[in-house]
Amino acid sequence: MLTITRYVLIDLLRNRSVAVYTLVLALLSVSLLSLEGGSGKALLSLLNITLLFVPVITTLFATIYFFNSLEFIELLLSQPVKRTRVLLAVYTGMAFSLSVAFVAGVGLPLLLLAPALPSLILIFTGVVLSCIFSAIALLVFVLTKDKTRGIGAAIVVALFFTLLFDGLLMMLIYAFSDYPVDKALIALMTFNPVDLARVLMLLQLDAAVLMGYSGALFKKFLGTPAGSIYAAASLVCWVLIPLLLGVKVFRKKDL
Amino acid sequence: MIGIEKLTKTFGRFKALDNISLQLEKGQVVSLLGPNGSGKTTLIKSILGLTIPEKGQITIHGKPVGKDVRYRAGIGYMPQIGRYPDNMSIEQVIHMIKDVRKEQADYDDTLYTGFGLHAIRHKKMRTLSGGTRQKVSACLAFLFKPDIYILDEPTAGLDPVSSELLKEKMAAESARGKLVLITSHVLSDLDGLTSHVIYLQDGRLVFHESVEYLETVTGENKLNKIIAAIMQAPKLLPC
C-alpha cells in the first residue's frame, strides 16, 4: 500500500492547486497573526477561515482529483493488487498531502508567531478536518457514477456541513425555544464534524462565555476531559465511517 | 486459457452482456469486434475483474476469476484511454507499476526503447500527447511478459511507425504461444495478425470463428470485407 501512496504523494505534492492552497493559507495566517499579534482574536479569525476553507477546498479538490485519477486507478486495478489496497493508498496520499498543506500554510506561521496550546489545537483541528473531508470526498467518488454528478454532490456536501447544517440547527433551536434543547444540541452537533471542531477549539479560547447558556453547557460537558475525548472520538469516527463505507462500496463497484 | 461461461451483465435495464460463452486458447490473436456499445469493453473489464459479472463464470488457466487477484499477474492490459497522474514523469509511472508488481522482475522493454520513451523519460505525463501516452500504456502492458495480452484499441492515435512496431510485437508474442485479445475499429490494422474473430452485437455473441473459416465462407481476404459480407448475408454462418 505504501508503494502506491508514495507515488500519489509524488504527484500531489507537486500539484499546482495544492501549492496555491498552501500559499493562500500562509498569506492569511501571516497577515492575521501580524495584525492581531497572536491574540485570541487572531486565532478566532483563523479558526473561522479553517472551518470554512478546509472542508470546502478539501472536498472539492479531492473529489476532482479522484475522478481525474479514475483511469489510472483502473490501470492499477488491472495489476495483481486488491481494490481495498489501491483505494486506501490513494486516500492516504490525499489526506496526507492536504494535511501537509495545512500544516505548512497555517501551522508553521502559528508555531512561529503564536506558540501556545490553542495554536496546537487549531493545527490538530485543521489536520483532522482535512482527513475527514478527504474521506467524505472518497465516499462521494465511490458513490457517484460520473464526474459532473460527483462534483455537484461534493459541492452540496461541503455547503451542507459548512453552512446549511448550522442554519437547520438554528431553525430547530428557534422552533423548540420553549424547551430545554441544550442536551439534544450536543447530540446533534456530533453529526457535523465542522461544529465539533469549532466547539473543541472555542473551549480552548475562553470564548465559550460568548455563546450564552449553551456555551456554558458545552463548557460543562465538552470542557471536561471526558467531553474532549468524546469530541475527539467523534471526529475520528468521522474519518473512519466514510472511509470504511467507501471501501465497502468500492469492492463491488463496476468500473 | 480464458474460458467464459454464460456471462451476463446488466447495467440497470441495459443488457451489456447476454449469456456469452467463449473459449480462447494460447497462440491465438483474437479480434473482438462489434459496433459501439456492443459490450466489448464490458467483456474485457469482466476478464480483468473491473466489472463484476452477475451470472456466469470466467476462468483463466482453469481457475475462476474472483477474490484472488494473483491471476492478473499473468495479464498485460492496455486501456483505451491512458490517463496518468499529471505531475509524474514517464519513468516514475513505469517505476510505480514495477513496484506494484515487485515479484516479477524479468522485464521486456523492447517497446520502451522501440518507441523511444527512454529519451523522454523525464517528461511529465501532463505534457505528453495522446499518442505518447498510448505508447506508455503499450509499454506497460508488455513489460512483465504476461501470458495474456488484453489490448483495448491499441493502435488508435499511434503514428504509422509505432503502430507497425506494436503490431510486430503482438505477432511475435502470439508466435511465442501467448494469447492476444484486441478490440479495434481500424480493421485494416488487424489484417494478417488476427487468427480468430469474435463479433458482438447488443451484448450478444454473433459469431466466434477462425479467420480461415470466415475467408472460405465469404470468399474475401480482407477483414473489413469479410465483416461486411457477413453483415449483409448473415446466413453464411451456421449460427
Nearest CA in chain A to B53: A254
Is pLDDT at B236 greater than 90 in this prediction?
no
Q: Give the B-side interface with A, CB within 8 Å.
A: 11, 45, 48-52, 69-73, 75, 77, 79, 81-88, 92, 96-97, 99-102, 137, 140
Nearest CA in chain B to A5: B96
Is pLDDT at A42 greater than 60 in this prediction?
yes
Nearest CA in chain A to B86: A11
pLDDT value, residue A217: 66
CATH architecture of B1-61+178-239: 3-Layer(aba) Sandwich (3.40)
Nearest CA in chain B to A81: B69
Residue B144 Cα, gap to closest chain A Cα (Å): 11
pLDDT value, residue A211: 60
Q: Which of B189, B199, B192, B188 is nearest to B236 (CA)?
A: B199
pLDDT tens-digit readout, B163-215: 999 999 999 999 999 999 999 887 887 888 889 999 988 888 888 888 888 88
Chain A residues whose beta carbon lies within 8 Å of the beta carbon of residue B101: 79-80
ipTM of the complex: 0.90
- Residue identified by cell 486516500 is A91
Smallest Cβ–Cβ distance between B85 and the set A11, A254, A255 belongs to A11
Higher pLDDT, A198 or A144: A144
Smallest Cβ–Cβ distance between B88 and the set A11, A70, A75 belongs to A11
Smallest Cβ–Cβ distance between A77 and the set B50, B71, B88 belongs to B50
pLDDT tens-digit readout, B140-170: 999 999 999 999 988 888 899 999 999 999 9
CB-based contacts of B46, cutoff 8 Å, min separation 6: B7, B9, B17, B52, B53, B58
Most B CBs within 10 Å, among A5, A6, A11, to test the B interface: A11
Higher pLDDT, A218 or A59: A59
pLDDT tens-digit readout, B74-84: 999 999 888 99
Domain ranges in chain B are 1-61+178-239
Inter-chain residue contact A14 with B87, CB threshold 8 Å: yes
pLDDT value, residue A212: 58
Residue B148 belongs to what H/E stretch?
A: strand B148-152
Give the pLDDT band of residue A150 (cuts 50, 70, 90). very high
- Asked if B205 and B221 touch (Cβ cutoff 8 Å), the reply is no
Give the pLDDT band of residue A219 (cuts 50, 70, 90). confident
Domain count, chain A: 1
Mean pLDDT of chain A: 88
Does A82 contact chain B (CB < 8 Å)? yes
Inter-chain residue contact A255 with B72, CB threshold 8 Å: no
Average pLDDT over residues B32-51: 89
Give the pLDDT band of residue A208 (cuts 50, 70, 90). low
Distance CA A97, CA A91 (A): 10
Residue range of the domain that includes A14: 2-251
Residue B11 Cα, gap to closest chain A Cα (Å): 9
pLDDT value, residue A59: 96
Average pLDDT over residues B15-25: 88
Is pLDDT at B66 greater than 70 in this prediction?
yes
Inter-chain residue contact A76 with B100, CB threshold 8 Å: yes
Residue A49 Cα, gap to closest chain B Cα (Å): 29
Give the pLDDT band of residue B238 (cuts 50, 70, 90). low
Residue A55 Cα, gap to closest chain B Cα (Å): 24
